Structure 1
């Protein structure tokens, strides 16, 4: 037994040395960025853009892999279970931080299995109408939903998702009643539904629908924010219509827990440089996305606080019979 101790100690030291060397050489191969939503949606576009810029700073390729399912849980779980070496990272959204843990969708899903790198955006939800929708203003839409309760169809994302919660809160605050149609998979299927005429309204961020807004195929009729969107200043905010409702999503970058600190620092530095670049800032301004940076020293506390506050709100709605877990 006495002879095993030096061997074991030598093995530990060798592993530590290997980890240090790996961190110094990072990245020595391509980095996989998991986007837990479908290609073509808002999150996908933003993450692809910032990663393309970040890889120049990092000195290696960052490629995006879209892994859909479980309101983002399927893709995020892959990141949680990946080797913590910096070669698999992921993007998280509201549903990853709030909806999935709230609904307990996947056993073993726990944000403590991730090391959060940074928050890069904070996006308010909005109601977006098709170009030929019957009600072209927020006031007209609310009035019609009161006169015709349950008749006006609105595309949300998943049942229990952020967009669902936004509409439930809006109904509670205004007395309007909508027919909420779930389109799992993020903004991409909502776009298809609006373009095909399945629905005339959708709720998500203006940035998610930037291509349709810019083409004139859709228009924003209200945004649930505290200030007008810099890219879409003509879209009114709900507060100006007497509805004090603020709601929206965000994008957070993360790596598996246990990823070496210096690797996290390299990733954070690369993405911060990309975030600060004129290329990214000009691009997000054009697509109506609000850049909002929180680094690794702040983002975990912010995520925990956000999750706790929204859990409290959802528990209250559940007690009222408005929301089911």
Structure 2
């Protein structure tokens, strides 16, 4: 075959080659270790969940899924590490509503979430719990609010950094309760947790999944949880809405993203694997015992969810949150 027909055939082959190569690459993926960047400290919900999910994916795909904690700047340092990585499916980001809040809370960051990363799948969400050190003379949330109002600016609350769910939940609580308490940002949730357990700060709003054991051991006193209904792991603790702040609600959710440009077949392969993992009966049971609830979406659904969360927190930041430090 020669002439125009030959030229058209060659052109069609050349156009199809990248698509076929990408599909073949995705079928073989992964052929080497995959890195999951966790922009938060060891021992927190994101770290624990990433390690559990990494083990499941490693068993499924036969390649190591290595967890790499890159902490600092309210999750920005780890996010930048993922953003600048090759878009080949071998670097993933375990993220949370920290990243969606940072879109408005930290305007000087060197990336845009929905431009520089692509959604893979959500993983789970959990309620938070409002706790105080046992030395605080408040047995209920209403008593803590009254105490804070009697001493404006004297009480402190810990978080794992600017823009984290614990910080945003704290600012929302301050506004809705009409109190003035001081935000003390730590480098990660583990240090913040130690701060309130050690009595360096009076209060913290932390994930039920990580703080419930400390409540059970009497290291902190739980005043309220932050969901619409009572937590299954702390059923005797009232919700904040029940305890004196009507309508207050806050959660922490986790999800996976990848650098923009990661081939769509790889995104789809990972999405299917994550959705299958979070629906496993043993995982559902484990998370229920810890106070976490699985989430399952397509990449498009997760994209919509992320964009909605960005708008939600932009409104909160505009009205309530501290200015970036």
What TM-score results when the alignment is normalised by the length of structure 2?
A: 0.87
Map 1:232-243 → 2, pairs under 5 A: 232-243=234-245
Aligned to 2:323, the other structure's residue is in SS state coil
**Tell me, which stretches of 5 or more residues in structure 1 are unaligned?**
1-5
Query: Counterparts of 1:160 and 1:37 in 2: how far apart (Å)?
Result: 12
Q: Deviations over 1:223-265 (max 9, x none)?
A: 2221111222122101112412112221111112222222112
Q: Does structure 1 conserve the Cα–Cα contact (< 8 Å) formed by 2:165 and 2:251? A: yes
Q: Does structure 1 conserve the Cα–Cα contact (< 8 Å) formed by 2:149 and 2:179? A: yes
Map 1:99-178 → 2, pairs under 5 A: 99-178=102-181
Deviation for aligned residue 1:8: 10
Within the alignment, does 1:66 sit opposite 2:66 as a pair? no
Deviation for aligned residue 1:161: 4.1
Q: Does structure 2 conserve the Cα–Cα contact (< 8 Å) formed by 1:82 and 1:88? A: yes
Aligned to 1:146, the other structure's residue is in SS state helix
Query: Counterparts of 1:108 and 1:314 in 2: how far apart (Å)?
Result: 19
Instruction: Quickly say closer, same or farther: Cα 1:15–1:172, change in 2 above 3 A.
Output: closer
Counterpart of 1:310 in structure 2 is: 313
RMSD, aligned CA? 2.5
Deviation for aligned residue 1:267: 0.9
Counterpart of 2:93 in structure 1 is: 90
Within the alignment, does 1:213 sit opposite 2:215 as a pair? yes
Instruction: Quickly say closer, same or farther: Cα 1:112–1:195, change in 2 above 3 A.
Output: same
Q: Deviations over 1:60-106 (max 9, x none)?
A: 22111111122111111222222222111111111112224531232
**Tell me, which stretches of 5 or more residues in structure 2 are unaligned?**
1-8
Deviation for aligned residue 1:132: 4.6
Query: Counterparts of 1:100 and 1:192 in 2: how far apart (Å)?
Result: 28
Of 200, 203, 210, the match for 2:202:
200
Within the alignment, does 1:223 sit opposite 2:206 as a pair? no
Aligned to 1:308, the other structure's residue is in SS state helix
Q: Deviations over 1:102-133 (max 9, x none)?
A: 31232234322212111112233321223454
Map 1:209-288 → 2, pairs under 5 A: 209-243=211-245, 244-288=247-291
Query: Counterparts of 2:175 and 2:45 in 1: how far apart (Å)?
Result: 28
What TM-score results when the alignment is normalised by the length of structure 1?
A: 0.87
Map 1:24-63 → 2, pairs under 5 A: 24-63=27-66
Q: Does structure 2 conserve the Cα–Cα contact (< 8 Å) formed by 1:118 and 1:253? A: yes
Counterpart of 1:3 in structure 2 is: none
